[in-house]
Chains A and B, each alone.
Chain A
Amino acid sequence: MTNPNALLHRRDVVNELLRDRADLLVIAGLGAPNWDVSAAGDHPNNFPLWGAMGGASMIGLGLALAQPKRKVLVVTGDGEMLMNVGSLASIAVEAPKNLTIAVLDNERFGETGMQKTPTASGVDLAAIATACGIRTSRIVRTMAEVTELRDLAHERRGTAFAQIKINPEALVFVMPPADGVILTTRFRQSVLGDEALFN
């Protein structure tokens, strides 16, 4: 078993992934990844989910295909990724250059009482992503590797996947707006301009 003291802290990881974010577009999976992304700073280019478990990475795919010149980062949890792990197959086949998926893996269902997820028993999401055909796929355990991942997410060199081993700590919730219409409209207005308000 890994020494939990050696594990990365989730908010350090997300702060680093979003450092100098420029025009990065961010999808945050429900639960703690949403709070982590929001703790790094509410932003119109964030689309934080309050539900739709299992959908984060596919929202990232649809967005990446629609906006091939922008960079898309999905930040989600291991439970959320596992719920639709088949998405990795769908995404690997499409292989958009501008999509990075960062799974914050605390090996727990954090919002529901810290029950273990399959990754706690060794299920290797990065290997699944590799087997699906996502060549840039890795397990991340150090901040230096997080920085590398941050740089990858800001390039458009191919779909990337990372399973980032983090401490199963429960932190204070930092919430973005909860109204889906506000989140959708401000994101579209930011990405597409005021025209988005008219259609």
Chain B
Amino acid sequence: MAEAAKSRSEAVPALPTWPDEIYRVLKDAGIRQVAMVPDAGHSRLIRSFEADPETRVVTLTTEEEGVAMLAGAWLGGERGVLLLQSSGVGNCINMLSLPVICHMPLLMIVTMRGDWGEFNPWQIPMGQGTRPSLEAMGVIVKKVDEPDLVASTVQGAAHLAFNTWKPVAVLIGQRVLGAKNFKELARK
């Protein structure tokens, strides 16, 4: 009986641990300013930062504001991170000139849409355009599709950004985040 209960509880997928892991990684990297337009995939990480008196979480009206804000943070000696969804990458393009031409670090953590298992066709153009448009602007892009590799990918990206003064984006794939099925949601 006890055995059966145990095996049932093991069958329930555990909460993903990578949001907590990247919170630790970002804290270790000295992140003090968090600029974000929220995405469901970032909600747990955002809650961790909001509960942290050492970090300032700034909600943006558009993601490019965050690129500019974190340039200002760097000018003032603070490190930050930009949390955004892949659709928001498109809003950043010209503003990325700033960290690129000024050799400023920029760490972007992008949760993907229009990627693996997407249900919403309108997410496809920017989702598929995310990597090439970042790379066209000179941003170093690292994609991660395995939950176990998210933390180490973010850690490597943070080192790259802050030690070599480069804009670096980590793309967290929909395989990690889980794709919603809106057709199912519509039936509920």
Contact assessment for B102 and A184 in the assembled complex, using a CB-CB cutoff below 8 Å? yes
Interface positions, chain B 67-125, Cβ under 8 Å from A, are 67-78, 80, 94-95, 97-98, 101-104
User: Which of B62, B68, B76, B80 contacts A52, CB < 8 Å?
Assistant: B68
A25: chain B residues at CB < 8 Å are 76
B102: chain A residues at CB < 8 Å are 180-181, 183-184
Contact assessment for B77 and A66 in the assembled complex, using a CB-CB cutoff below 8 Å? yes
B60 interface contact, C-beta 8 A: yes
A64: chain B residues at CB < 8 Å are 72, 76
Contact assessment for A55 and B68 in the assembled complex, using a CB-CB cutoff below 8 Å? yes
Contact assessment for A52 and B97 in the assembled complex, using a CB-CB cutoff below 8 Å? yes
Give the size range of B's interface with the partner: 20 to 34
How many A-B residue contacts, CB cutoff 8 Å? 125
Interface positions, chain B 40-77, Cβ under 8 Å from A, are 56, 58-62, 64-77
Interface positions, chain A 74-113, Cβ under 8 Å from B, are 84, 86-87, 89-90, 93-94
Contact assessment for B65 and A86 in the assembled complex, using a CB-CB cutoff below 8 Å? yes
Contact assessment for A90 and B58 in the assembled complex, using a CB-CB cutoff below 8 Å? yes
- Supposing A67-B77, A192-B77 touch, asked if A62 and B101 sit within 8 A by C-beta, the answer is no
Chain A, residues 41-84, CB within 8 Å of chain B (1/0): the string is: 00000010101111110111111111100100000000000001
Contact assessment for A53 and B94 in the assembled complex, using a CB-CB cutoff below 8 Å? yes
CB distance from A22 to the nearest CB of B (A): 17
B32 interface contact, C-beta 8 A: yes
B174 interface contact, C-beta 8 A: no
Contact assessment for A94 and B95 in the assembled complex, using a CB-CB cutoff below 8 Å? no
A62: chain B residues at CB < 8 Å are 33, 35, 68-76, 78, 80
